[in-house]
């Protein structure tokens, strides 16, 4: 199991748990789920309390703490005491009418608020450099990750990048095979386990291109293939558990990458944006 490490500032306990939790072994996942559900009780709890509540042993509790980025249970208790007391899971069950809009609004705002706390500064800067220098970008996301990929591809294209945004598995594979070391592949996925996305990543790597994964789970199959991973936590409540918060958080990261890359490219990117603005202006009545 890869330990989640933040290079600049340590992310919050709850945000990190949301990223790494789904990929843990069952016993460790039980510990993490109990810790996040009882974060207010953790500062006063003992390791024995956690063992009894989760049906695990001391070694499992310590391993779970280390996966979350802490040296042990004592350090995690200190982090829990400092955890901001915000509504991490806004209640969206049973709400109707305008109340549903307000509930989803709170969940979305919470997801966006903690983006910079879960994305490593070092990895983000690495991706900015990769994207800035890419001669060509392949941007892809399957199923519900498709809209984030399509939006990102359109914005990079408007800023002067040569972008492939294939709509299906076959074309994505064809594009990935033609990439070179001077190009880049940017993939969006919630679980990091979608077969088609994994296939595209593998083909891009075999072609020699760097692969960037924007995912909601740090320790995923896609992360194992990718050159660099940006793990983005998001609140995934709401109707049918459709991971809306994670999609919004991924878009924030994508727009951050675009902004930084445009600045890095300087006049070249700005000139492209000016030309694109003229095209957009002509489409408005």
List the pLDDT tens digit at each of the 285 positions of the chain.
333 333 334 567 777 787 777 778 899 989 998 998 888 889 888 999 999 999 999 999 999 999 888 888 988 888 887 776 554 455 556 677 888 888 878 877 877 877 877 788 899 999 999 999 999 999 999 988 999 999 999 999 999 999 999 999 999 999 999 999 999 999 999 889 999 999 999 999 999 999 999 998 777 899 999 999 998 866 555 444 456 778 888 999 999 999 999 999 999 999 999 999 998 888 887
239 lies in some domain: yes
- pLDDT of res. 7: 36
Instruction: Please indicate, yes or no, whether residues 218 and 276 belong to a single structural domain of this protein.
Output: yes
| Cα 255–Cα 260–Cα 266 angle in degrees, nearest 5 | 125
Give the separation between CA 214 and CA 228, rounded to whole angstroms: 9
184 lies in some domain: yes
CATH of the domain at 25: 1.10.10.10
- pLDDT of res. 80: 83
Instruction: Please indicate, yes or no, whether residues 191 and 266 belong to a single structural domain of this protein.
Output: yes
- pLDDT of res. 201: 98
Give the separation between CA 84 and CA 88, rounded to whole angstroms: 9
CATH of the domain at 134: 3.40.50.10490
Instruction: Please indicate, yes or no, whether residues 68 and 160 belong to a single structural domain of this protein.
Output: no
Instruction: Please indicate, yes or no, whether residues 48 and 140 belong to a single structural domain of this protein.
Output: no
Query: Mapped to the 3 state alphabet, what secondary structure does 148-169 carry?
Result: HHHHHHHHHHHCCCEEECCCCH
Q: Are 81 and 43 in contact (CB under 8 A)?
A: yes
157 lies in some domain: yes
Report the candidate in 230, 266, 235 with the shortest Cα–Cα distance to residue 248. 235
241 lies in some domain: yes
Q: Are 63 and 27 in contact (CB under 8 A)?
A: no
Instruction: Please indicate, yes or no, whether residues 69 and 148 belong to a single structural domain of this protein.
Output: no
Give the separation between CA 116 and CA 121, rounded to whole angstroms: 8
Instruction: Please indicate, yes or no, whether residues 73 and 145 belong to a single structural domain of this protein.
Output: no
3 lies in some domain: no
Buried b (16+ CB within 10 A) or exposed e, 18-50: bbbbbbbeebbbbbbebbbeebeebeebebeeb
Instruction: Please indicate, yes or no, whether residues 57 and 140 belong to a single structural domain of this protein.
Output: no
- pLDDT of res. 177: 97
Quote the domain boundaries for residue 159: 115-282
Q: Are 193 and 226 in contact (CB under 8 A)?
A: no
Instruction: Please indicate, yes or no, whether residues 161 and 74 belong to a single structural domain of this protein.
Output: no
Q: Three-state DSSP class for 240?
A: helix
């Amino acid at each position: 199991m890869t330990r989640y490490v933040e290079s600049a500032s340590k992310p919050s306990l709850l945000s990190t748990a949301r990223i790494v939790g789904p990929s843990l072994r069952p016993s460790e996942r039980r510990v993490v789920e109990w810790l996040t559900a009882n974060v207010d009780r953790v500062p006063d709890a003992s390791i024995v309390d956690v063992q009894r509540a989760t049906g695990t042993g001391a070694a499992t509790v310590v391993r779970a703490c280390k996966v979350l980025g802490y040296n042990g249970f004592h350090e995690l208790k200190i982090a829990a005491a400092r955890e901001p007391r915000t509504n991490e899971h806004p209640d969206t069950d049973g709400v109707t009418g305008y109340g549903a809009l307000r509930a989803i609004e709170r969940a979305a705002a919470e997801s966006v608020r903690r983006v910079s706390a879960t994305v490593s500064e070092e990895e983000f800067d690495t991706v900015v450099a990769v994207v800035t220098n890419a001669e060509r970008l392949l941007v892809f996301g399957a199923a519900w990750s498709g809209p984030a990929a399509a939006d990102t591809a359109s914005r990079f294209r408007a800023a002067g990048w040569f972008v492939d945004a294939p709509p299906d598995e076959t074309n994505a594979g064809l594009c990935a095979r033609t990439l070179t070391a001077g190009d880049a592949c940017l993939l969006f996925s919630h679980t990091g386990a979608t077969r088609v996305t994994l296939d595209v990543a593998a083909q891009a790597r075999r072609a020699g291109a760097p692969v960037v994964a924007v995912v909601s789970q740090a320790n995923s199959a896609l992360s194992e293939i990718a050159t660099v991973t940006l793990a983005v936590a998001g609140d995934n409540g709401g109707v049918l558990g459709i991971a809306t918060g994670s999609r919004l958080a991924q878009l924030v990261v994508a727009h951050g990458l675009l902004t930084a890359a445009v600045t890095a490219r300087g006049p070249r990117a700005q000139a492209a944006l000016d030309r694109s603005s003229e095209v957009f202006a002509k489409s408005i009545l």
